[in-house]
Amino acid sequence: MYTRALNGQVSHWFDGLPISRGPLPGSRDADVCIVGAGYTGLWTAYYLKRADPSLRIVVLDARFAGYGASGRNGGWLSGLVPGDRERMARQYGRDGVVAWQRALNDAVDEVIDVAAQEGIDAGIVKGGNLEVARNRAQVRRLAAAVDAERRWQVDGVEVLTKSEAAQRIALDGVISAYYSPHCARIQPAQLVRGLADAVERLGVVIYERSPVTEITAGRAATPWGAVSAPVVLRATEGFTAGLPGLKRRWLPMNSSMIATEPVPESVWAEIGWEGRETLGDTAHGFFYAQRTVDNRIAIGGRSVPYRFGSRTDRDGRVPERTIKNLTATLHSILPQVAHVPIAHGWCGVLAVPRDWEASVDFDPATGLGWAGGYVGHGVTATNLAGRTLTDLVLTRESPLTRLPWVGHECKDWEPEPLRWIGVRGMYLAYKAADWHEARGTKRTSPIAVVANRITGR
């Protein structure tokens, strides 16, 4: 059932706008200044303070902790690599990428353990991830994905028949599926809120409503004053393009979500989903979904993929047609909920580097560092990035500092209007490819193959 849902207000994961912390009250000094109070910034603050309690750490955010992708994502705490393993292996070697994959899988459990230790109730259920194929071309891609997981030594991956998949979730039109244990369902805003509280208990100071207008060596400037620190770390992800000199560094890609009203128990009895697996598919215009803590269904996908000039949304507001499109996607896979109203729609931005590879780096000479560009796979990767930045800042040689994304560089995106034309064209091509494949072709549509080559995916 489509009804006019609540639109924007950041995301459904927040109960309205949270009570904000105060802004920076004036210029001050610190040992470490972190720009961005999302997962990356907060995990970095957490591990730095745990490693050296004497550090004076200040975190600045333009709005409030979790305002960006950390509080708007699909709630997949997964071992998915934020990049292309084959491409990274060609550049840095296979062994390093295998280590990166294993570190990400281990990071799923690290987040779960820290949440338990810090008393963070983020609705975590490690039910794994279910990926499904609904036409013959998707079946081939799914089989290739399983082969790739095994080549990269990802353990526990199971191929499921149609009936085996239906025993987990009674989805419509599924032909085949695979299951990976390396994923947990979370309530993302509760995780970021709890993490912010945890770092404050450790003595980290968070200033909200303090937009950073410029980052230079030893200084982060805001309208209310500046924080001077020998170490300044950028953790701004999808909002990076708003900083001077970084307009083309990472592209702010849009992704959108909807959440239903709570689904009646009688309908859950038909659907199943008792394991709380996260759910996705192998279409080019893919969806991602979860059964929420309060028994709704939250499902996301692409809508308006990119706004001209790297503009971002206004507090998560999304076009009404996107809510309708996502509703149609939901009803096509789970017709059992066709009469359950949609409660909320929202969107957010994720950072995409030109080569679609995330990176972590720190320059001891300038004291400047950063992490991000997670291409939509950042919930777990941010934890690994925070621990890696901690080792880099403290000059600790470790297995984390030798992972292939450390120091990785890529070129900037093209100037406008080329990047707008390119990104919009790419997603129009993927939409056409999905249409083509739905009509029965056995192979990946050549439209998608060409789009991948042009965009570097």
With a cut of 90, say whether residue 16 has pLDDT above it: no
**In this predicted structure, what is the pLDDT of residue 449?**
72
Q: Measuring CA to CA, how many Å separate 384 from each of 77, 104, 105, 155, 381?
A: 12, 7, 10, 19, 5
Sign (positive or negative) of CA dihedral 311, 315, 316, 318: negative
Determine the Cα–Cα distance for residues 457 and 452; give it in Å rounded to an integer. 5
Q: Is the pLDDT of residue 1 over 60?
A: no
Of 308, 256, 328, 332, the closest CA to residue 424 belongs to 308
Of the pLDDT bands very low, low, confident and very high (cuts 50, 70, 90), residue 327 is: very high
What is the pLDDT confidence band of residue 116, given thresholds at 50, 70 and 90? very high
Number of neighbours of residue 301 by Cβ within 10 angstroms:
22
What is residue 173's predicted lDDT score, i.e. its pLDDT?
95
pLDDT band at 390 (very low <50, low <70, confident <90, very high): very high
Beta-carbon contacts of residue 49 (< 8 Å; ≥ 6 apart): 55, 57, 199, 202, 203, 204
pLDDT tens digits along 138-192: 999 999 999 999 999 999 999 999 999 999 999 999 999 999 999 999 999 999 9
Task: Number of helices (H) and strands (E) in the chain: give both, helices first.
Answer: 11, 21
What residue spans of 334-445 are helical by DSSP H?
A: 378-393, 418-438
pLDDT at site 455: 61
Mean local confidence (pLDDT), 401-413: 97
Q: Each residue of 347-357: pLDDT tens digit?
A: 999 999 999 99
Could you tell me if 343 and 269 are in contact, meaning their C-beta atoms sit under 8 angstroms apart? Answer: no
CATH number of 17-86+88-109+188-251+355-402: 3.50.50.60
pLDDT-derived band at 454 (thresholds 50, 70, 90) equals low
Q: What is the pLDDT of residue 444?
A: 83
Q: What's residue 427's pLDDT?
A: 78
Is residue 445 within 8 Å of 452, Cβ to Cβ? no
Mean pLDDT confidence for 45-65: 98
Using CA of residue 98, residue 103, residue 106, residue 111, what is the dihedral sign? negative
Q: Give the model confidence (pLDDT) of 260-289 as tens digits.
A: 999 999 999 999 999 999 999 998 889 999
Residue 193, pLDDT > 70, answer yes
Which amino acid would we find at residue 340? Answer: V
Is the pLDDT confidence value at 457 over 70?
no
- Mean pLDDT for the chain overall: 94
Comparing C-alpha atoms, which of 249, 223, 220 is closest to residue 234? 220
Cα–Cα distance between 261 and 297 in angstroms, integer? 8
Q: What is the pTM of this model?
A: 0.96
Q: What residue segments make up the domains of the chain, in order of their start?
A: 17-86+88-109+188-251+355-402
Residue 384 confidence class, pLDDT cut points 50, 70, 90: very high
